[in-house]
Chains A and B, each alone.
Chain A
Amino acid sequence: EVQLVESGGGLVQPGRSLRLSCTASGFTFGDYAMSWFRQAPGKGLEWVGFIRSKAYGGTTEYAASVKGRFTISRDDSKSIAYLQMNSLKTEDTAVYYCSKVVAATSGIFDYWGQGTLVTVSS
């Protein structure tokens, strides 16, 4: 059974950093791109970024709202994807979800974690 479990959320002050983890099981993690999404309280879904599998270079793409502040990485030996968030702003407050793609290079997301809440506030 595929499972994705996010962790690392919490309360953080503006300007500080936080690292989220997405621990995967039930599939060959290294074969799939992994993506991060977020949802501000009472708002819709927003794509944050993704990391391709090593077979496709392991490269990353980001939304403009987080580019230069957030970094996605992966450790295929541990089946974990990370979201390093620096220079956090109050508008980054959201539930953050990780998700896997259906196929190696698709934009279809078939499994999602339960989400982890990040609150940026002084």
Chain B
Amino acid sequence: DIQMTQSPSSLSASVGDRVTITCQASQDISNYLNWYQQKPGKAPKLLIYDASNLETGVPSRFSGSGSGTDFTFTISSLQPEDIATYYCQQYDNLPLSFGQGTRLEIK
């Protein structure tokens, strides 16, 4: 099974800050990596697919990069509505697996 390791597990930042989250796969997953945002009490929302493609309707301040085993998710200028938990997810192999999540808070 592929293990996904996200860091940090929590993050506190100020409005306007650049925020970066990393996700490392236990083996090469090419670019089969997605990023989701989940707000409290809500379902996950797809933000980035195939490592770097922005889902339709998602603000351009969100971006992703990487391939192989190392991936990065970036919010270029943090907004108050970005407070949420973010998850990476691989789909290179079954079972599908997620990182443990990064809880993002406003400082």
Interface set of A (CB-CB < 8 Å, partner B): 35, 37, 44-47, 61, 63-64, 97, 102, 106-110, 112-115
Cα A44 to Cα B36 with chains together (Å): 12
B91 touches A107 (CB 8 A): yes
**21 A-B pairs with C-beta separation under 8 A:** A44-B98, A44-B99, A45-B38, A45-B44, A45-B89, A45-B98, A45-B101, A47-B97, A97-B44, A102-B49, A106-B91, A107-B32, A107-B90, A107-B91, A108-B49, A108-B50, A109-B34, A109-B44, A110-B55, A113-B43, A115-B43
* Bound Cα distance A93, B42 (Å): 17
Could you tell me the distance in whole angstroms from the C-beta of A75 to the nearest C-beta in chain B? 22
Which listed residue (A37, A44, A102, A106) contacts B101, Cβ 8 A?
A44
Does B87 touch A at the CB level, under 8 Å?
yes
B44 touches A44 (CB 8 A): no
Known: A44-B87, A45-B87, A63-B95. A109 touches B100 (CB 8 A): no
User: Which A residues are CB-close (under 8 A) to B44?
Assistant: 37, 45, 97, 109, 112
Asked if B96 is at the interface (CB within 8 A of a chain A CB), the reply is yes
State the CA gap A63–B98 with chains docked (Å): 13
Q: Report how far A36 CA is from B97 CA in the complex, Å.
A: 13
Flag if A46 contacts B32 (CB, 8 Å).
no
Output the nearest chain A residue to B91 by Cβ-Cβ distance.
Answer: A107
Residues of A within 8 A of B91 (CB): 106-108
Min Cβ gap A102→B in Å is: 7
The answer to whether A108 and B34 have CB atoms under 8 Å apart is yes
Expressed in whole angstroms, the Cα–Cα distance for A92 and B18 within the complex equals 38
B5 to chain A, nearest CB (A): 12
A44 contact set on B, CB distance < 8 A: 87, 98-101
Tell me if B46 counts as interface (CB < 8 A to partner A). Answer: yes
* Interface mask (B27-55 → A, CB under 8 Å = 1, otherwise 0): 00000101010100011111001100001
Q: Is the CB of B45 within 8 A of A112?
A: yes
Contacts A102-B49, A112-B43 hold; do A64 and B95 have CB atoms under 8 A apart? yes
Which residues on A sit within 8 Å (CB–CB) of B38? 45
